[in-house]
């Protein structure tokens, strides 16, 4: 009976693990975080974040507050960042960011949509969408 109980426990744990991690991917070496990401604030993509070689640059939507900046706008955008002094590292599923005045924050991203969407486990930020990724089927 004990073997059967252990079997049921392992089976239920396996099913729970599979269901709870469905459609989410932890950060790993196969998913590249570097590149351009759009920040969705619930209404529009209000900024773009560029991650490159440990430097984080932020670009603001120049059409706000009256207009919107959609994916088409950002793909043709050729402006200067409003912030280019932040740094970042990614290690052990932790995104560590140092802002321009030296404050450090640690955030815990989870990938969705085949690595084209980042949600933040502690809801500290809006969702990020990869600029040149396939995000048509991703929930905003």
pLDDT in tens, 38-57: 999 888 899 999 999 999 99
User: Hey, what long-range contacts does 105-111 have (CB within 8 A, 24 or more apart)?
Assistant: 109/27, 109/33, 110/24, 110/25, 110/26, 111/24, 111/25, 111/26, 111/27, 111/31
Residue 81 in any domain: the answer is yes
Give the range of the structural domain holding residue 83, as residue numbers without chain letter: 23-130
Residue 34 in any domain: the answer is yes
pLDDT in the model for residue 4: 44
**CATH code where residue 84 lies:** 2.40.128
Residue 3 in any domain: the answer is no
Does the structure show a pLDDT above 60 at 27? no
Confidence of residue 12 (pLDDT cuts 50, 70, 90): very low
**CA 7 to CA 4: how far, in whole Å?**
5
SS3 state at 81:
coil
Looking at the structure of the chain, the number of domains it has is 1
**Mean pLDDT, the chain, whole residue set:** 81
Residue 14 in any domain: the answer is no
Question: Which among 14, 87, 21, 92 is positioned nearest to 55, based on CA atoms?
Answer: 87
Residue 138 in any domain: the answer is no
């Amino acid at each position: 009976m004990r073997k059967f109980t252990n079997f049921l426990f392992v089976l239920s744990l396996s099913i729970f693990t599979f269901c709870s991690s469905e459609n989410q991917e932890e950060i790993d070496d196969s998913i590249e975080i570097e590149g351009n990401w759009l920040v969705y604030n619930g209404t529009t993509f209000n900024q773009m974040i560029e991650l490159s070689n440990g430097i984080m640059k932020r670009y603001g939507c120049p059409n706000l507050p009256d207009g919107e900046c959609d994916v088409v706008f950002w793909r043709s955008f050729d402006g200067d960042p409003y912030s280019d002094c932040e740094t970042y590292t990614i290690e052990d599923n932790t995104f560590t960011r140092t802002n321009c005045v030296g404050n450090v924050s640690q955030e815990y991203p989870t990938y969705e949509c085949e690595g084209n969407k980042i949600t933040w486990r502690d809801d500290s930020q809006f969702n990020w969408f990869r600029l040149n990724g396939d995000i048509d089927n991703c929930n905003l």
